[in-house]
Amino acid sequence: MIPYFNVTTIALGPITIQVWGLMVALGMLVGAWAAAKMAKHRGQDEKIIWDLSVWVIIAAMIGARIIHVVYEPATYLADPMEFFRVWHGGFSVMGGFLGALIAGVWFLRRKHVDVWAYSDTALFGLPLGLFIGRIGCFLIHDHPGTLTDFVGGVQFPDGTRHDHGLYLSINGLLLFLTFLLLARRGARTGTYAVVFLLWYGTIRFFLDFLRATDGAIVDTRYLGLTPAQYFSLMMVAGGAWLFHKKLSRKH
């Protein structure tokens, strides 16, 4: 079992740094760097990837906040101004994906480049960013799961539980290592997009069954599923459609 510890802030003299925000920001930066490296490897314009990253990050944060309303509708209906109090936390990675997709397609079309090719390159760095960012979730333990006797469970104050921050961080790392293997084998354009959608959507769908249904942090469920699970199903469907449309064809 993993001992419970909670690291929410780091004090540097008079400055207090929020650990979650620091890890998310670091993940975004490193993910963009990895995508830029892939762009160079593919003969694409690295500057476009860096500029794309700025727009995508802004849109992702907005989308993540908007979709989080679906998780806690009662909170925002009772106090609509809570939406703007972002320092209280409350972001949905699925909303982030949606916001990033909309802004990314818009930006790349404005640049008159191959949207499919550049989107695939940008996605190469996403699992690495998720791996780092989710470490922040693990350190603050904001995604407790159900009680378990699994050896990888975390010993929360109220019992040993699954920790989704930890699992999703490991998932990001494994997915990025898979991307590196695919890159060494000369993956076709579109491979990263298809693999990400199928892999992440499937893993997230099943992991959410392990999210806590008791305690202080409980996700709202609709017909027995979390909002993320519905997004996951759409991701898998989108990945299957893209595979049929783009990758199932012969060279």
Average pLDDT over residues 22-31: 97
The DSSP element (H or E) to which 40 belongs, if any, is helix 19-41
Percentage of residues in the chain having pLDDT higher than 70: 98
Q: What is the pLDDT of residue 88?
A: 77
- Backbone region of residue 43 per phi and psi (left: phi > 0; alpha: psi in -120 to 50; beta: other values): left
Note the pTM of the prediction, 2 decimals: 0.93
Q: What is the pLDDT of residue 87?
A: 77
Q: Counting beta carbons within 10 angstroms of the beta carbon of residue 204, is it exposed (0 to 12), middle (13 to 18) or buried (19 or more)?
A: buried
251 pLDDT more than 70: no
Q: Does residue 41 lie in a domain region?
A: yes
Which of 20-24, 73-77, 170-174 bottoms out in mean pLDDT, i.e. has the lowest? 73-77
The one-letter amino acid code at 100 reads: A
Q: What is the pLDDT of residue 84?
A: 86
Q: Does residue 7 lie in a domain region?
A: no
Q: Does residue 8 lie in a domain region?
A: no
Percentage of residues in the chain having pLDDT higher than 90: 80
pLDDT tens per residue across span 66-117: 998 888 888 888 888 888 888 777 899 999 999 999 999 999 999 999 999 9
Q: What is the pLDDT of residue 90?
A: 84
Q: Does residue 3 lie in a domain region?
A: no
pLDDT band at 163 (very low <50, low <70, confident <90, very high): very high
pLDDT band at 247 (very low <50, low <70, confident <90, very high): confident
Q: What is the pLDDT of residue 232?
A: 98
Q: Does residue 216 lie in a domain region?
A: yes
Q: Does residue 55 lie in a domain region?
A: yes
b/e per residue, 72-108, with b = 16+ CB within 10 A? eeebbeeeeeeeeeeeeebbbbbbbbbbbbebbeebb
Average pLDDT over residues 138-152: 93
Which of 48-52, 67-71, 137-141, 207-211 bottoms out in mean pLDDT, i.e. has the lowest? 67-71
pLDDT band at 59 (very low <50, low <70, confident <90, very high): very high
pLDDT band at 216 (very low <50, low <70, confident <90, very high): low
Number of domains in the chain: 1
Q: Does residue 13 lie in a domain region?
A: no
Average pLDDT over residues 12-37: 95
Please state, in angstroms and as integers, the Cα–Cα distance from residue 135 to each residue in 30, 87, 172, following that order: 14, 19, 10
250 pLDDT more than 80: no
Q: Does residue 135 lie in a domain region?
A: yes
Average pLDDT over residues 39-63: 97
Structural domain for 171, as ranges:
18-247
132 pLDDT more than 80: yes
